[in-house]
Amino acid sequence: MSKNRVAQAGAMLPLAIGLAMFGADRLAAPAVAPAVGTPIAQSEPIKSGPATGAGGPTGSPTPLLAQGHPVDWWFVFKFNSAAFPGCAGGAVRMCPFGGSVQNYKAFGQQFAYASSEAPSLQEGSNCVGDTTDDPVGATFAEVYNASLHYVVWNDQFYDDPKIQGCTKECGSPWGHSKGLVAWDDTGNGFVMQVTTPSWPAAGSAQFPRKTDGNTLGCVMDDNVQVSQHFFSLRLNSDDLVKVLKALQNASVVTDPNNHQIVNNGGPAEVQQLAAGLGVKSSSDTFTKDTLSTGIQLISKPSNLHVPPWQMVSAVLGGVSLRTATWWANPKIYTTTATTTISCWNDSLGMPAPVEIATTGQWDGTVFGLTGGLGTNFNHAKLGVSISGNQNYAILGDMNQQGTASGANCASSQNGRGGLFYVLGDAELAASLRDLMSGDTAPTQGSSR
């Protein structure tokens, strides 16, 4: 796998990152916020092709590596600001989806990416998320500057938009999940999983955020300080139905009555499912579907009070995993074949060992893969198989926070919902193993 060193843009000062309330993860406030009454600057929208948002060869919206370059899927890992500060090549930040460039004490928008076209990670260029030359910016522009149906969900909208019953963010038992799904009148489209609080928080330039920006690097909350991941996948109409049902099962945070984050339409079944989102599900049963691309989708409901990544291991038939998440208190430590997991549901089968990666590396530069206060931390939610002949790359919503055993099995992420996309791709799995190679958390702290 070829991995050139991502260009560093100079040293940055640290900025504290706070742990989330209710056991979720929450990024720190910005160093400099606009004064009350200061209008949010809106840059000229990026042009993204036809008004329908068509990006694929059939005219349907689809994941884009860059404007006019469709793929079945792409994956982006954004590095943290301690190891790879600033933007690649010293690129200047822009705000095409609203907001103004923020004077963060530290930020990092350098990234590596892979796709269905080239599954091994390679270095990206410029600043992730703010041009049509990178996967995140190009794919989001396809929705934001067009006339598509969409649902945006995020448990950390920070009051723009406001969600009834939540203050700034939505804790347990709401789903710990963030993303966007967009489709045309036929139900064909794509899903984009993100791990960034407060982005995206508007699906269309016609209904922008009222008090904040909607571009990476232009949001008042410094959500580009630590590592994040992004994933986008092409969907046909049958896939879309499966994704919407999985979102419902996971109790994702959205509001079907707010055009800023939901623009319903398309096939009748799709409209019905989208209209039913934004409520807390009573389900205690996971779901598992295989999509048209062969990628598996697993949904954890909030009422299934089990450690999230052990659940994934069991649902996949007992595959050993290595994970990299916002690993912070309450921590679920590395578990082995002899670890007692009493917070469990027998319908899941048995989990295999699950390692916690605490450091990773890219082209010889080591970076942190845990959660905490500072710049050298990780907010991506990644897993990769490390046993047998399986080559699973797993892109999730959830952290290894909660408990394997004890009196409070609903602790932290155990008591929340989320999605996991499982790609059976040997090249991507090898890239993730390499990216996540490094130190491993001990087993101390897990019940035996």
| DSSP characters over 357-375 | B-EEEETTEEEE-S--SSS
Q: Which residue has the higher pLDDT, 117 or 30?
A: 117
pTM for this prediction:
0.89
Residue 18 has pLDDT above 90, yes or no: no
What is the identity of the amino acid at 7?
A: A
Residue 159: CB atoms within 10 A of its CB come to 15
* pLDDT per residue as tens digits for the range 262-287: 999 999 999 999 999 999 999 999 99
Task: Answer yes or no: is pLDDT of 337 > 70.
Answer: yes
Is residue 30 over pLDDT 90?
A: no
The DSSP output letter for 69 is E
Predicted pLDDT at 374: 93
Alpha-carbon span 261 to 252, nearest angstrom: 12
Using CA atoms, how far residue 299 sits from 128, 280, 312, 326, 447, in Å, is 28, 14, 9, 19, 26
- 3-state DSSP call for residue 274? helix
What is the reported pLDDT for 58? 55
Which residues contact residue 37 at a Cβ distance below 8 angstroms, ignoring those fewer than 6 apart? none
- Nearest CA to 64 out of 52, 48, 51, 78 is that of 48
Residue range of the domain that includes 370: 26-435
Rounded Cα–Cα distance for residues 21 and 108 (Å): 24
pLDDT at 43: 38
Q: Are 275 and 258 in contact (CB under 8 A)?
A: no
Confirm whether 6 is domain-assigned: no
List, in sequence order, every residue forming a beta bridge with 227; answer none if it has no partner.
Answer: 378
Residue 48 scores a pLDDT above 50: no
Q: In this structure, is residue 72 part of a structural domain? A: yes
Buried b (16+ CB within 10 A) or exposed e, 76-110: bbbbbbbbbbbbbeebebbbbbbbbbbebbbbbbb
Residue 293 domain flag: yes
Return the pLDDT at 28.
Answer: 38
pLDDT, tens digit (0-9, with 9 covering 90-100), for 238-247: 999 999 999 9
Q: What is the pLDDT of residue 141?
A: 98
Q: Once rounded to an integer, what is the mean pLDDT over residues 78-91?
A: 97
- Residue 3 included in any domain: no
402 assigned to some structural domain: yes
- Please compute, for residue 99, the number of CA atoms within 13 A of its CA located in the half-sphere on the CB side: 28
Q: What percent of the chain has pLDDT over 90?
A: 85
Pairing mode, strands 111-115 and 73-78: antiparallel
Query: What is the per-residue pLDDT for 46?
Result: 37
Within a domain: 17: no
- The answer to whether residue 328 is domain-embedded is yes
pLDDT digits (tens, 9 = 90+) for 108-161: 999 999 999 999 999 999 999 999 999 999 999 999 999 999 999 999 999 999
**What mean pLDDT value characterizes the chain?**
89
Count of structural domains, the chain: 1
* Residue 57 within any structural domain of the chain: yes
Instruction: Determine how many CB atoms are found less than 10 A away from the CB of residue 55.
Output: 29
d(CA 31, CA 317): 46
Report the pLDDT value the prediction gives residue 55, as an integer from 0 to 100. Answer: 57
pLDDT in tens, 359-380: 999 999 999 999 998 999 999 9
Examine the pLDDT at 53 and tell me if it is beyond 50: no
pLDDT mean over 54-77: 87
